[in-house]
Amino acid sequence: MATAVQTMEQDYQETQTGGVTLTKSAAEKLGGIMAEKGVETTHGLRVFVQGGGCGGMQYGMTFDNQMRAGDQVFNNHGIPVYVDQVSLFYINGARIDYIDSLMGGGFHIENPQAVSSCGCGSSFRTAQSHTGEEMPDSCGYH
């Protein structure tokens, strides 16, 4: 289980939560990429959700060197994972894995909040928005 660290005006409080977890495989791949870029000691992984994609919402990941107001940080296998509050609503409990196969490798997100996802693997839909609104059954394209 990941350890969450939430900031409240420079005070850190550790709590156990579902949050966002990395598998060992994902952490090893991310650690290697971070080492290649020379940021393994200065950055963490920022995971976020934004509107778009054929499912209505899509995942995003980038390296970030700072926590932002309202972020929660989940430490997984030595890698800090930053998630903002709105994104956390959509991906709480998600597990990020790295899969390497003959067809190529890539990160895969298992998201218990998603009620449907697109074949591309980076787009999804939840039952409700973070404001409590009912989400449409589809994006309208299918």
What are the residue ranges spanned by the domains of the chain? 3-126
User: Which listed CATH number (2.60.120.10, 2.60.300.12, 3.40.50.620, 1.10.10.10) goes with 3-126?
Assistant: 2.60.300.12
Kindly report which listed range (23-37, 49-63, 70-84) carries the lowest average pLDDT score: 49-63
Q: How confident is the model at residue 139 (pLDDT cuts 50, 70, 90)?
A: very low
Say which range, 16-25, 69-78, 88-97, has the weakest mean pLDDT: 16-25
Between 5 and 133, the more confident residue is 133
Q: What's the predicted TM-score (pTM) here?
A: 0.72
Which long-range contacts link 97-103 to residues 24+ away (Cβ below 8 Å)?
Answer: 97/22, 97/23, 97/25, 97/26, 98/23, 98/25, 98/26, 98/28, 98/29, 98/30, 99/25, 100/25
Report pLDDT digits (tens) over 43-59. 999 999 887 766 577 88
